Amino acid sequence: MSGPPPAIIWEHEVERLLQYRELIPRLEEALGKFSKRDSAEVIQPVRSTVPLQKHSGFLGLMPTYMENDGVLSTKLVCFYNRETHSSLPGVQATVVLLDPEYGNVKAVIDGEVITAMRTAAVSAISAKLLMRPGADVLAILGTGKQALSHFNVFTEIFPFKEVRVWGRSRERAEKFVRSVGGAAWACGSAEEAVRGADVIVTVTRSTKPVLFGQWVKPGAHVAAVGACRPDWRELDDVLMKAAVVYADSREGAMAESGDVILSGAEVFAELGDVINGTKPALREKTTVFKSLGMGVEDAVSAKLVFDQWKATASHV
Ligand SMILES: NC(=O)C1=CN([C@@H]2O[C@H](COP(=O)(O)OP(=O)(O)OC[C@H]3O[C@@H](n4cnc5c(N)ncnc54)[C@H](O)[C@@H]3O)[C@@H](O)[C@H]2O)C=CC1
Ligand SMILES: O=C(O)C1=NCCCC1
């Protein structure tokens, strides 16, 4: 292959280079560009998925081209629905950044930190747009990687007075609370965590509902991040039908979200539509943001990492 060898930028380096304050505005811009459906801005097909049946998982391929920005990338992500309490990873990812003119690989970047941070940052954007003003109580269902990245960004940018965490085992919820220096409460049940909460984040590997509409306070905002297969659920039909549903990608939600497909709920708008001002943010209603994850989010995150990496003198 012609051209210089690709940069290899791994986990600790990505952690050092990626900051929410720089990432969030770029993601907001990217979501808006995606929803314009202008092929010079963003070409991003719905994720192709290859089942890894033997290992209860999937390989997702997420190519994206942003012509006006000169960004070409693809993420390779494996995600699993393994036996409960398996110590094997739930999500593993790599982002490959290419030169769109020459076609050579410019960088191979660890995708786990990018996936954790860009997903949480997009949920935070959904909350910024859709939660009611004065939201005080945040509930997080799940205690894994996404739970931590969501805790980090939500507490960094919003002044929540209380953060509640639920996991399938109380022990894991308590461990999570210790890991964040005690800045949250471990709850004994999902119901206890979400009753009265203003914002609820679901970040589990569950394939059946863990959040039920009858527990959810009217006007609450839900960022639903797990359940990214057409037959997986995190939210029940009552909630899906009562809420105004937003998504990152309408096509993605119609193809991949069990919560949308199986409940028959309508996707009211994409987050990008709200950012572009073409659809309203119905903050006074109960809202669900159904996140599936998009290649364009990985593309702008990888570009940010690569640009910062190049700017670090010792690598040049
Ligand atoms: N929307 C998006 O862009 C993305 C979505 N995801 C999805 O988000 C979810 C969480 O991802 P990670 O935090 O990386 O995974 P993780 O494996 O680190 O954490 C998963 C959490 O779910 C819990 N869990 C597993 N089965 C459960 C069940 N039946 N009921 C309740 N809780 C259960 C685990 O105990 C753990 O707390 C996964 O479904 C993953 O596929 C991950 C990355 C991006
Ligand atoms: O966008 C992503 O990255 C993922 N989405 C759903 C499943 C895991 C990874």
- On whether both 103 and 219 belong to a single domain, the answer is no
- Please indicate, yes or no, whether residues 240 and 275 belong to a single structural domain of this protein: yes
Q: How far is the CA of 273 from the centre of ligand 2 (A)?
A: 21
- Picking from 29-43, 74-88, 167-181, 214-228, which range would have the lowest pLDDT averaged per residue? 74-88
- What is residue 87's predicted lDDT score, i.e. its pLDDT? 80
Tell me, yes or no, whether 96 and 150 share the same domain: no
What average pLDDT does range 50-63 have in this prediction?
Answer: 97
Ligand 1 mean position, distance from CA 229 (Å): 12
pLDDT category, 3, cuts 50, 70, 90?
A: confident
Which numbered atom of ligand 2 lies nearest the CA of 115?
3
Q: Which of 75-84, 119-128, 164-173, 233-242 comes out lowest in average pLDDT?
A: 75-84
140 forms bridges with which residues in the sheet? 165, 201
Q: Among candidates 95, 109, 114, 126, which has minimal Cα distance to 18?
A: 114
Do 140 and 88 fall into the same domain? no
pLDDT band with cut points at 50, 70 and 90 for residue 75:
very high
* Domain assignment present for 266: yes
Q: Report yes or no on 2 lying in a domain.
A: no
The answer on 107 and 131 residing in a single domain is no
CB atoms within 10 A of CB 33: 22
Ligand nearest to the CA of 78: 2
For atom 8 of ligand 2, which residue has the closest CA? 79
| In-domain check, residue 267 | yes
Residue 30 lies in a domain: yes
Q: Report the residue among 56, 205, 288 best suited for mutation to probe ligand 1: largest number of ligand atoms under 8 A from its CB.
A: 205
**Same domain membership, residue 235 and residue 124:** yes
Mean pLDDT of 83-104: 89
pLDDT of residue 88: 85
Report pLDDT for 298: 98
DSSP bridge pairs for 201: 140, 223
In the chain, how many domains are there? Answer: 2
DSSP assignment of 209-260: --B-GGGSPTT-EEEE-S--STT--SB-HHHHHHSEEEES-HHHHHHH-HHH
217-233: average pLDDT? 98
Q: Give yes or no: residues 88 and 150 share one domain.
A: no
Residue 75: which domain range? 7-114+296-315
Task: Say yes or no: 82 and 23 in one domain.
Answer: yes
* Mean pLDDT taken over the chain: 96
Residue 283 lies in a domain: yes
Q: Look up the CATH number of the domain holding residue 47.
A: 3.30.1780.10
pLDDT at 85: 64
ipTM: 0.99
Please report whether residue 145 resides in a domain.
yes
Note the pTM of the prediction, 2 decimals: 0.98
Answer yes or no: is 223 within a domain: yes
| 275 exposure class (CB count in 10 Å sphere: 0-12, 13-18, 19+) | buried
Per-residue pLDDT tens over the stretch 193-216: 999 999 999 999 999 999 999 999
232 with 152, same domain? yes
Residue 315 has pLDDT above 70, yes or no: no
Is 255 within the bounds of a domain? Answer: yes
Residues with CB under 6 A from ligand 1: 79, 84, 90-91, 115, 119, 142-147, 167-168, 203-206, 210, 225-226, 228, 291-293
* CATH code: domain of residue 181: 3.40.50.720
The answer to which of 65-79, 119-133, 266-280, 301-315 has the lowest mean pLDDT is 301-315
108 and 134 both lie in a single domain: no
102 has a pLDDT exceeding 90: yes
136/203 same-domain check? yes
Q: Residue 313's pLDDT band (boundaries 50, 70, 90)?
A: low
Q: How confident is the model at residue 231 (pLDDT cuts 50, 70, 90)?
A: very high
Closest atom of ligand 1 to 122 CA is: 3
Residues 184 and 109 reside in one and the same domain: no
The atom number, within ligand 1, closest to the CA of 143 reads 37
Q: How confident is the model at residue 316 (pLDDT cuts 50, 70, 90)?
A: low
